[in-house]
Structure 1
């Protein structure tokens, strides 16, 4: 029954799921209407909440735009292109291609979510070039499936937040080290179960694909475009634009800072240091400023969807939080919970709220002050409840286009192209996550 189920969801998604931007607009209208009906906010107040929050994600929008741009710049450098191509040689069949991309994406997302999104998409393009008979849509969905594990990995925002001494819930929650969240048996079980099962699920999905749906080989030819014929630099400006010494000096300076940063902070692989590392490696590997700027011209084309859509999600978050709508949703789940059911219901409520507030840190700011007091009152483990929010945030990312935008931009696809496969991943991943949170 696996094949017809996948084909059913793929047909539904292809027919009815609009472009990611339209999806954001529909969510905006939905939250506005729900806020007017379910809270004390008037129609005018809801518009005010929306406008006030519209630009709250500007810094994050820039970060995510740069992760796509700098990742593309780095991947298009000849040395990195050669490395990714050699790694892609391990795939000889469509099944091997799907499994390899899934494992690489899972590994990268466990290290850092931004790193994983970019590397997964770029590597998938190289694998598609190596195995042209693989369904390209499923290959990109496989790359995106790695994002399921990010909130159980080293860049998980919620467990890392509550492990700091100055987080906003420290008075009621205290400081919870990652040994009580990320490195607990239940979290390691969830990560291991997804790491083993997702490549299998994605490989089985091949039976439901149409192998005639292949991508233009010219699009996949990342980083192999013929370089412009070398010209003799005559003016001082042209000499600077083609200066290998200048690129080497700036690149080595940047990488020197990266070494210093990690020596002082350990493996704190946040989004800013990932962008910084990508940028200065790209400067070194492209060798001259002119070649680097040529790669920038291609890279910025991929960031348009992020730039235009993220402010709308910020507006949605503004309405959810300021109107109290997110509080009402969370409180409803608390009211029907017991000590035994609170982790599962927290996970489900986090998955629902994530559809409207697709930011781990933003979601914790909303749910943390509600779920933690409930856990303390019911006698549930607050660290497990925090991880339930974290996994709920990661879970419904499979059907929320917000985080898919970077990978779709690099892949050159629409959200409807991969979402049919991602629905299956959503249903399947519920099982190991629920088992880990409730029974272990």
Structure 2
């Protein structure tokens, strides 16, 4: 295990470029594939690329806020102290790896945006508590929680098809989550990974790495916070008094909490990415107590979102080329041609994993593959709910080696994609086993 992990780690460290260059290389690759394997010429592929370039602006803003609001909330003394106390459960590097993995898995099952932030922030605390742990493996363990997100409560594809009015309703009707998220297939895969992945990540340990890559300025002591507060109260002007008013923060914070309460009363336990950001933002306003302290923390948090802002448009352009050229359809249809009734779920899963490289948004991927895979499953005689979960798990599976979703985690951790990708590749290979068993035999 150590030999194989070391090999992948060395290869990734040597040959994998920065996440931005990875997106550029994918852009070139999809452009060439579209030119040679579809009816689109170079001019048409450029049109598809430019036409889709800005299609993820809303989502890019959401993910930028995931990082910023997570930073804001985690820097508040009450949250920082709570995470620090929880991190005390880890006494050794092995315990640190297992604890971070388990917390990240549970958090991502609740909500993927919540899990990305909490997993990364908790990993930083644990690294401070156990400085001899391999920090890169610890962050990879935090990111491994993303493996189960499409089997949890924020799973976009199962939730979409359970909602009346979805775009495939005329073909499959609405499929309740009891047939997807609470199916024997999904329960088996989720339980298997939650129970075993912490142990697997623990066995990926191959030495130690000092805590040298994290921004420890986030984790100031309470005494330092008190000192900053004391200094800011001297010789205040009326404007300064307003900026340092706890009343202002309290009032706007209460307004935010009131809406959160209204949201859950009206919609049940509906944790989407917007409400997660909303919760983090207004709790951060309250916990930082004054607008000045809140805004000072915002300025620090914004430094971490540059990669997201720049790279997400390139992935939107890749998606535009994949969809408009018909390349994604060709990939899916090729796997269908190889399938039987028994193997169709597995090949659907693998094809979804490949398409996820180029269309890393779960909802976007379903819009591409759903109209292809669902009619094929009906024709072959495969249960449509099983096909849905095959696409969902394929989307989640290759997230382990697709930097798109790792960007918020890496921003919080202060690492580059090559630092964790060797470990993530091992997690990808391991997780194939339970997912394949679930799709073939349940």
Please state which band the TM-score falls in when normalised by the shorter chain: over 0.9
Alignment match of 1:215 (pick from 211, 216, 226): 211
Equivalent-residue separation in structure 1 for 2:86 and 2:239 (angstroms) = 39
Q: Which residue of 1 aligns with 2:248?
A: 246
SS at match of 1:403: helix
Q: How many angstroms does 1:218 deviate by?
A: 7.5
Q: How does 1:70-85 map to 2 (within 5 A)?
A: 70-85=69-84
SS at match of 1:355: helix
The answer to whether 1:119 aligns with 2:118 is yes
CA RMSD of aligned residues (A): 1.0
Q: How many angstroms does 1:335 deviate by?
A: 1.2
Q: Which residue of 2 aligns with 1:273?
A: 275
Tell me the alpha carbon deviations over residues 92-119 of structure 1, each in whole angstroms, 9 at most, x when there is no partner.
1001100110010000000000000000
Q: How many angstroms does 1:221 deviate by?
A: 4.9
Q: Answer yes or no: is the 8 Å Cα contact 1:233–1:242 preserved in 2.
A: no
Q: Which runs of 5+ in 2 are unaligned?
A: none
Tell me the alpha carbon deviations over residues 48-80 of structure 1, each in whole angstroms, 9 at most, x when there is no partner.
000000000000000000010001000000110
Q: Which residue of 1 aligns with 2:441?
A: 439
Q: How many angstroms does 1:232 deviate by?
A: 3.0
Q: Which residue of 2 aligns with 1:315?
A: 317
Q: How many angstroms does 1:237 deviate by?
A: 1.1
Alignment match of 2:260 (pick from 258, 281, 291): 258
Q: Answer yes or no: is the 8 Å Cα contact 2:214–2:414 preserved in 1.
A: no
Equivalent-residue separation in structure 2 for 1:12 and 1:106 (angstroms) = 27
Label 1:260 to 1:34 Cα distance change in 2 as closer, same or farther (>3 A): same
Equivalent-residue separation in structure 2 for 1:235 and 1:219 (angstroms) = 33
Q: Answer yes or no: is the 8 Å Cα contact 2:213–2:413 preserved in 1.
A: no
Equivalent-residue separation in structure 2 for 1:64 and 1:338 (angstroms) = 39
Runs of 4+ in 1 over 3 A off after TM superposition: none
Q: Which residue of 1 aligns with 2:166?
A: 167
Q: Which residue of 2 aligns with 1:381?
A: 383
Q: Which residue of 1 aligns with 2:339?
A: 337
Tell me the alpha carbon deviations over residues 175-234 of structure 1, each in whole angstroms, 9 at most, x when there is no partner.
00000000011100000000011101110111x23x1x2123883353316342233353
Equivalent-residue separation in structure 2 for 1:233 and 1:308 (angstroms) = 41
Q: How many angstroms does 1:405 deviate by?
A: 0.3
SS at match of 1:402: helix
Equivalent-residue separation in structure 2 for 1:405 and 1:218 (angstroms) = 15
Q: How does 1:118-157 map to 2 (within 5 A)?
A: 118-157=117-156
The answer to whether 1:282 aligns with 2:278 is no
Q: Which runs of 5+ in 1 are unaligned?
A: none
Task: Give the TM-score taking structure 2 as reference length.
Answer: 0.97
Alignment match of 1:412 (pick from 411, 414, 426): 414
SS at match of 1:168: coil
Tell me the alpha carbon deviations over residues 3-45 of structure 1, each in whole angstroms, 9 at most, x when there is no partner.
1000000000000000000000000000000000000001000
Q: Answer yes or no: is the 8 Å Cα contact 1:129–1:221 preserved in 2.
A: no
Q: Which residue of 2 aligns with 1:110?
A: 109
Q: Which residue of 2 aligns with 1:236?
A: 238
Tell me the alpha carbon deviations over residues 262-315 of structure 1, each in whole angstroms, 9 at most, x when there is no partner.
011011100000000000000000000000011001100111100000000000
Tell me the alpha carbon deviations over residues 385-440 of structure 1, each in whole angstroms, 9 at most, x when there is no partner.
01000000000010100000000000000000000000100000000001011101
Q: Answer yes or no: is the 8 Å Cα contact 1:126–1:220 preserved in 2.
A: no
Q: Answer yes or no: is the 8 Å Cα contact 1:81–1:222 preserved in 2.
A: no
Q: How many angstroms does 1:169 deviate by?
A: 0.2
SS at match of 2:350: helix
Q: Which residue of 2 aligns with 1:295?
A: 297
The answer to whether 1:426 aligns with 2:422 is no
The answer to whether 1:186 aligns with 2:182 is no
Q: Which residue of 2 aligns with 1:366?
A: 368
Equivalent-residue separation in structure 1 for 2:214 and 2:238 (angstroms) = 36
